[in-house]
Amino acid sequence: MADRVLVIGADAAGMSAASQALRTAKAAGRDLDVIAVDRGHWTSYSACGIPYWIGGDVASPGALVARTPEEHRANGIDVRLLTEAVAIDTEAGWVEVVDHAAGRRDRFGYDQLVIATGAAPLRPDVPGADAAGIYGVQTLDDGGAVIAHLGGDVRRAVVVGAGYIGLEMAEALVRRGLSVTVVDRAPEPMNTLDPDLGTQVHAAMERMGMDVVTSAAVTAFETGPGGVTAVVTDAGTFPADIVVLGTGVRPATDLARAAGLPLGPSGGLRTDDTQRVADGVWAAGDCVETWDRVRRDWVHVPLGTHANKQGRVLGTNLGGGAARFPGIVGTALTKVCDLELARTGLTEGDAVEAGLDHVAVTIESTTRSGYLPGAEPITVKMVAERPTGRLLGAQIVGRDDSAKRIDVCAMALWTELTVGELAMTDLAYAPPFSSVWDPVQIAARKAADRL
Amino acid sequence: MADRVLVIGADAAGMSAASQALRTAKAAGRDLDVIAVDRGHWTSYSACGIPYWIGGDVASPGALVARTPEEHRANGIDVRLLTEAVAIDTEAGWVEVVDHAAGRRDRFGYDQLVIATGAAPLRPDVPGADAAGIYGVQTLDDGGAVIAHLGGDVRRAVVVGAGYIGLEMAEALVRRGLSVTVVDRAPEPMNTLDPDLGTQVHAAMERMGMDVVTSAAVTAFETGPGGVTAVVTDAGTFPADIVVLGTGVRPATDLARAAGLPLGPSGGLRTDDTQRVADGVWAAGDCVETWDRVRRDWVHVPLGTHANKQGRVLGTNLGGGAARFPGIVGTALTKVCDLELARTGLTEGDAVEAGLDHVAVTIESTTRSGYLPGAEPITVKMVAERPTGRLLGAQIVGRDDSAKRIDVCAMALWTELTVGELAMTDLAYAPPFSSVWDPVQIAARKAADRL
């Protein structure tokens, strides 16, 4: 009889795992019986695309779906939506689920369990935080709820938290015509960058007409009969017809915790590099901790790109092949208003916190040869270890064609290059694409000189 | 007394070397006496920018100059323009020069000699090739000659050679309003790419209104009293009011050859990795051969990016410091009409020629998440060694935001990653910048699967 595989969570990690497991097993002439359950309405969608749907660049949530339930079913995966896993028994090998459509409980036995339960938005622990009109944005269903709330009377939005999701949502709401205030605890927005670069993000937000309130902690939400009416902070009270939370997420691992599975300090599941948690139990995506090759430590970094890769590795191994997830270096980027921003590895603040002897340099250059029209400003900040010269991290802020250059730094971190060697690598140059020394290499050269 | 340094050639390599030598010596408390001679009118300019000047994006040649003679002089370099080196005696330690302005010969003694004589355009060895109206485009003075030739009666241009310079010049001439025919010996334009990608370049050229004639060898130039009148090929005769040559360059090493200095098979000077040629003799830039880390062989790759880096390495060593030029991997890119194109490492054709057991894969993807406006097509071709999986090379052709991704492949070649590992590296993802698997990683994954 074919092994029964049960997948909890039908988004990127879970469905990548399921598809790859079937593909791998089939190539080896084996059958798998795969069931995937999800409490929501959707499969395999781009959660990262939600702000672009809300902002109007994407017409419908369906456009964000990479593969529909029907397509997965045609590939031999038994997808059950509106079906919520509520308990796991790893000893007996079953999962208890509630079928919300039929209103009944079931137990599904399994031989192999895949946990891909994702992450859940954090809510500030202050009065009123559960009021209507306050939205975390993590799932397509969340995105739908925000859109349903928007309309004629909804004019003022407050976004709490100026990280990736907060800023992308703030921009989306400006584009919907709302008046938007962004409040954040840190001295500058985007505190995954050093504050000296955060000031550029701050200015870009103001250029787009946002009201930016920094160093402000939320102390309460004021509410009325219709739900939230204002966000109260220690730097003032801001009226709100809608509130969006960009205050981070936590791994959605309550089920796994209750089942006694191993969790790290972040609450994420601990896997080995095959994505295995325990005998017959696997996990991938936003619910796991990931090995950071630069920090040499486990971290929780909920990003679709890791979820997809981990899901594929998981599926290969579950299906009888061999693959390993080699970790991450902490790369991320986004576009906020007219500014692109990116980071990888450690910021200067991270290096200080880790007690590493280091140098940090910042350079200003242009995205193409300065004599061409369309040459835009770009700032690159680079941190290197002293005395080894090993690159520790990089940050980029600039206009069009800036941020994706972070990939070169990510590759350098991956292979532990020194800044001296990075300055001499063979990067592509032609006037419409770069200065003759790529901005990344100008920064690396300056860091090497400083060492 | 300070060492006398004589630099022949005052463009990227020579002046980078001179500036860095002074800087390094000064930091060590030493003096250098630096003279730089050049037969042309300019110093430290972007030769790569010439097509953009001719095409009208850049208003004047001065805009292409990174550092003027006056600026160099203010930094302590004795720059002598219109001064042509005509003989080198390495035994006695002098260089004979002709001062074209003053019309006299001089001998400059030296303790350290820097040869940065660049490259010279190749001319087809056919009748009429030296006629007026036929231009190689290598120096700012060449660019000025082309612009001087253009005018009311000059309507039809033929560009011979469809490589980087040929295509950039063809586009510049179209933008100047000329009717442009491009003739090339190869079956498809841009034969540093495999022909299956060259077809996309061909189509882009036709979209811009160029007449593209491939598999055509030039057999003669027809001439009249005013110079060239037509280009004769074995595929037809093409009337021309101006002809631009994009038929490659050769290292300008006649002087070095006459002085008995070591040259490789390409005619380029052979240096060690400190850019030293012999005792007291150094060289950098388009006149040298360079170590190719992928081919594991010496190659002649005349590009400004290498010239600048080699010049800096040379100057550091000459000035008493320590630096090495670690070689190249064969990265290049350009933009032709509405198409970006890039390559690094080996093409499939190169791998076949080298007799390497390999797999080649090609994928189609989009430059950003497919559901966003502005998601443009991108093609990535990747070649990997069998059975090791080592990346051998990559080629990219696509619309906006495609070609610079080649840098990730260049970094992977640099550190000899396998395609399997490249597929798992931590590249930046957000919907406006990439699909969730970067197109480069989709190609790497497919290559790994194929292995």
pLDDT at A151: 80
pLDDT digits (tens, 9 = 90+) for A183-235: 999 999 999 999 999 999 999 999 999 999 999 999 999 999 989 999 999 99
Query: Is A428 within 8 Å of B436 when comparing Cβ atoms?
Result: no
Instruction: Tell me which amino acid residue B16 is.
Output: S
What phi, psi does B411 have (nearest 5°)?
-65, -40
- What pairing do the DSSP bridges indicate for beta strands A339-345 and A332-336? antiparallel
Nearest to B410 among A309, A421, A428 (CB): A428
Task: Calculate the average pLDDT of chain A.
Answer: 96
**Which residues of chain A does B437 touch, with a Cβ-Cβ cutoff of 8 Å?**
305, 308-309
Is the pLDDT assigned to residue A1 strictly greater than 90?
Answer: no
Q: Chain B closest CA to A97's CA: distance in Å? A: 30
Pick out chain B residues at pLDDT < 70. Answer: none
Residue B342 · residue B333 · CB < 8 Å: yes
Residue of B nearest to A442 (CA): B309
Distance, in Å, from the CA atom of A406 to the CA atom of A397, rounded to the nearest integer, reads 10
Exposure string over A334-367, b if 16+ CB within 10 A, otherwise e: bbbbebbbbbbbbbbebbeeeeeebbbbbbebbb
Among A residues 6-45, those touching chain B with beta carbons less than 8 Å apart: 12
Is the pLDDT assigned to residue A157 strictly greater than 90?
Answer: yes
pLDDT at B30: 95
**Cα torsion A112, A118, A124, A126: sign:** negative
Residue A431 · residue B335 · CB < 8 Å: no
Tokens of B444: 């790497």
Tokens of A306: 């890791």
How crowded is residue A192: how many other Cβ atoms within 10 Å of its Cβ?
A: 17
Distance, in Å, from the CA atom of B184 to the CA atom of B188, rounded to the nearest integer, reads 8
- Biggest alpha carbon–alpha carbon distance for chain B: 70
CA angle B89, B94, B97 (to 5 degrees): 100
Query: Is A335 within 8 Å of B433 when comparing Cβ atoms?
Result: yes
Query: Is B437 within 8 Å of A48 when comparing Cβ atoms?
Result: no
Residue B182 · residue B162 · CB < 8 Å: yes
Residue to test with chain A: of B26, B334, B376, B407, most A Cβ within 10 A: B407
End-to-end CA distance of chain A: 63
Tokens of A348: 């200067």
End-to-end CA distance of chain B: 63
B335 CB within 8 Å of a chain A CB: yes
Distance, in Å, from the CA atom of B8 to the CA atom of B118, rounded to the nearest integer, reads 10
Nearest to A433 among B369, B404, B426 (CB): B404
Q: How many CA atoms lie within 13 A of A66 on its CB side?
A: 20
Rounded to an integer, the average pLDDT of A84-103 is: 96
CB-neighbour burial class of residue B296 (10 A; exposed 0-12, middle 13-18, buried 19+): exposed
pLDDT at A244: 97
Contacts 24+ apart (CB under 8 A), B370-373: B370/B435, B371/A46, B371/A49, B371/A52, B371/A58, B371/A63, B371/A64, B371/B431, B372/A49, B372/A52, B372/A57, B372/A58, B372/B431, B372/B432, B373/A57
**Which residues of chain B does A344 touch, with a Cβ-Cβ cutoff of 8 Å?**
426, 428
- What pairing do the DSSP bridges indicate for beta strands A94-99 and A83-89? antiparallel
Q: Chain A closest CA to B120's CA: distance in Å? A: 20
Among A residues 204-243, those touching chain B with beta carbons less than 8 Å apart: none
pLDDT digits (tens, 9 = 90+) for B130-172: 999 999 998 899 999 999 999 878 999 999 999 999 999 999 9
B433 CB within 8 Å of a chain A CB: yes
Residues in chain B: 451
- What pairing do the DSSP bridges indicate for beta strands B227-233 and B218-224? antiparallel
**Which residues of chain B does A48 touch, with a Cβ-Cβ cutoff of 8 Å?**
369, 429-431, 436
Residues ≥6 apart with Cβ < 8 Å to B437: A305, A308, A309, B445
Nearest to A408 among B164, B333, B407 (CB): B407
Q: Chain B closest CA to A280's CA: distance in Å? A: 24
Nearest to B436 among A304, A313, A429 (CB): A304
Catalytic residues of A: 48
- Calculate helix-pair angle for A164-175, A195-207, nearest 10 degrees: 10
**Closest among A314, A331, A448 to A382, alpha carbons compared:** A448
Distance, in Å, from the CA atom of B230 to the CA atom of A431, rounded to the nearest integer, reads 31
pLDDT digits (tens, 9 = 90+) for A406-437: 999 999 999 999 999 999 999 999 999 999 99
Banded pLDDT at A356 (limits 50, 70, 90): very high
Distance, in Å, from the CA atom of B165 to the CA atom of B168, rounded to the nearest integer, reads 5
What is the DSSP secondary structure assignment for residue B53, as one 8-state letter?
H
Count each helix (H run) and each strand (E run) in chain B, helices first. Answer: 12, 26
User: Could you please report the per-residue DSSP string of B214-282?
Assistant: -S--EEEEEEETTEEEEEEETTEEEE-SEEEE-S-EEE--HHHHHTT--B-TTSPBP--TTSEEETTEE
Residue of A nearest to B291 (CA): A426
Residue B156 · residue B179 · CB < 8 Å: yes
Tokens of B330: 């064969």
Query: Is A64 within 8 Å of B371 when comparing Cβ atoms?
Result: yes
Query: Is B52 within 8 Å of A431 when comparing Cβ atoms?
Result: yes
Among A residues 291-310, those touching chain B with beta carbons less than 8 Å apart: 303-306, 308-309
Residue A225 · residue A360 · CB < 8 Å: no
Rounded to an integer, the average pLDDT of A51-64 is: 93
Q: Residue B290's beta-bridge partner residues?
A: B299
Tokens of A446: 């300056």
Q: Chain B closest CA to A382's CA: distance in Å? A: 17
Residue with tokens 């006398």: B4
Distance, in Å, from the CA atom of B388 to the CA atom of B160, rounded to the nearest integer, reads 40
Q: Residue B96's beta-bridge partner residues?
A: B87, B107
Omega cis (within 30) before A387:
yes
Nearest to B309 among A63, A424, A432 (CB): A424
Task: Enumerate domains of chain A plus CATH numbers.
Answer: 3-120+250-318 (3.50.50.60), 123-247 (3.50.50.60), 332-450 (3.50.50.60)
B332 CB within 8 Å of a chain A CB: yes
Among B residues 378-417, those touching chain A with beta carbons less than 8 Å apart: 401, 403-408, 410-412, 414-415, 417
Residue to test with chain A: of B404, B413, B422, most A Cβ within 10 A: B404
ipTM of the complex: 0.96
- Give the 3-state secondary structure of residue A433: coil
B83 CB within 8 Å of a chain A CB: no
B192 CB within 8 Å of a chain A CB: no
Residue of B nearest to A345 (CA): B426
**Which residues of chain B does A308 touch, with a Cβ-Cβ cutoff of 8 Å?**
436-437
pLDDT at B437: 96
Distance, in Å, from the CA atom of B129 to the CA atom of B141, rounded to the nearest integer, reads 19
Residues ≥6 apart with Cβ < 8 Å to B95: B6, B8, B37, B85, B87, B88, B89, B107, B108, B110, B113
**Which residues of chain B does A429 touch, with a Cβ-Cβ cutoff of 8 Å?**
48, 303-305, 333
Contacts 24+ apart (CB under 8 A), A400-403: A400/A340, A400/A367, A400/A374, A400/A376, A401/A340, A401/A367, A401/A368, A401/A376, A401/A433, A401/B401, A401/B404, A402/A340, A402/A342, A402/A367, A402/A376, A402/A378, A403/A333, A403/A334, A403/A335, A403/A340, A403/A341, A403/A342, A403/B428, A403/B433
